[in-house]
Structure 1
């Protein structure tokens, strides 16, 4: 028996120099006029104000109020991407979920900022799942979080059947992320909704994957409204009988979860410590010059020691 739920992604152009909020509202009005059967809408990461930290604002605030109004106006669940949030002296990358009454259901702050590039952003510390009554449990992650399989697995272990994943990727690793999205869906036997922006908001190619890891839809590199009806029973069937009636990764993880002592508090990780600091790579020529300088200094020290010994 099909248990449908309609989710739409909005892949839109994002400006880094001016607010995108009014255009988000226009896109949402158009979407709901064309597809009034949609029950949840997801925008891309940092869609509201772009990727510059000087746009950070306190939450709750004006953006919160605007999104509450839009959720209530259309009677939908709404995840309007994320914004940079001022929280005391720190800045977080925070997404908020609103219900059809316009109420704040939950907030999530990105646990893995894109270090060392997303400079000045503090990582969140709490995972985020929420219930859509009579539908299922949903989890939220943001962009770079997906590169750490422990984050998506934790959401699945907490019961998430759908992962909502706003992202902002305009770099050459987008192909890799598309593969990660498919793998995340398959290994966690869930729907994975990855919505990217355009221009300052990313290079598009949003992707929606089903609990068997197959691509339900992949967008191109233009503005798109992506309405899809998901069959929530497919998640339950996959988790009961296996991915394509084969592997049952969540059950296997459950039955061997005690073996992962590497994650216990106080565990030592000498190999990880040996990888060096988390920083942007230098130019190859600079590294080469640095090594030459080190060799030259070593020779000079050797020559000085030789002369001293000779005297």
Structure 2
């Protein structure tokens, strides 16, 4: 594993047209690889629009198997450009069984792992439970890092970002980095101060996972306004804000709300240094945490 890793993040708009969306992803991947990135992270559901604003069973036609055309295109890019590439798929696992799946391609090796989103939201404008089955902790290896030529990737997806348990389990399994492909934004009619609170909370919680676990964190989010096809809402403004932070939560780079390609040098050796000074893993009271497996502690 290299001591310093040059990482790239693609922050893009996306459309219902897969060809157009994937072309945008490919342009970003190629631009970052040309600048020396050896690990490139794409945002959640980068191959299509964010179709979960409404419940429409015809949209299951967008799904593909793990080895479908989109995955094959990403695998070919990883091999051609000699990079580790993390993409996102609307996965058709079987008839009536679909997942929101992040997939890792490692240079010439092809697909070396995948992670099926574990926490699935169901909120106005984000009706993901209609489309996605949660990953199975046993069948899908749960919160298990994926081994690659650039390190062990603790890969999580969007709504997973709010759960410290998910980040902790990845860290306890030996992840070298935490990665979050996301698709998050606000309702255009929200008040400016509410929009700022939402975005600040989103950035803060993910930086805190870096602090609590002594790991770098990579977050790739989408941008642009996407209308609600049903017309029931004003749609979503995806706020971008993709960023990379170090193991003390320090921001190394952050994008604004426009399409962007972030290129960042991440010093992986700092995790060891930070954990020696802030030994949270050493001081955990694992003998006292049994009730964390309960939904709520009724007294």
TM-score category of the 2 structures, normalised to the smaller one: 0.7 to 0.9
Deviation at 1:99, TM superposition (A): 0.3
Aligned to 1:40: 39
The alignment's TM-score, normalised by the length of structure 2, stands at 0.81
Contact 2:85 2:105 in 1 (8 A): yes
Q: Does 1:259 align with 2:288?
A: yes
Decide which of 49, 65, 68 is 1:61's aligned counterpart: 68
Contact 2:214 2:248 in 1 (8 A): yes
Aligned to 2:24: 23
Aligned to 2:220: 195
Q: Does 1:85 align with 2:114?
A: no
Alignment of 1:188-227 (within 5 A): 188-199=213-224, 200=226, 202-227=238-263
Q: Give per-residue Cα distances to partners, 1:223-277, cap 9 Å, x unaligned.
A: 11111111111011111222xxxxx222222xx112111135xx574649xxxxx
Contact 2:102 2:116 in 1 (8 A): yes
Alignment of 1:208-287 (within 5 A): 208-242=244-278, 248-253=279-284, 256-264=285-293, 269=296, 271=298
Aligned to 2:135: 124
Listed as ranges, the gaps of 5+ residues in structure 1 are: 243-247, 273-311
Contact 1:189 1:250 in 2 (8 A): no
Q: Give per-residue Cα distances to partners, 1:209-228, cap 9 Å, x unaligned.
A: 11011111111111111111
Contact 2:32 2:40 in 1 (8 A): no
Listed as ranges, the gaps of 5+ residues in structure 2 are: 52-58, 137-141, 187-194, 227-236
Aligned to 1:175: 200
Alignment of 1:144-155 (within 5 A): 144-155=159-170
SS of residue paired to 2:108: coil
Deviation at 1:143, TM superposition (A): 0.7
SS of residue paired to 1:144: helix
Aligned to 2:175: 160
Aligned to 1:294: none
Q: CA RMSD in A?
A: 2.0
CA distance in 2, matches of 1:129, 1:92: 18
Aligned to 1:307: none
Deviation at 1:136, TM superposition (A): 3.3
Contact 2:152 2:174 in 1 (8 A): yes
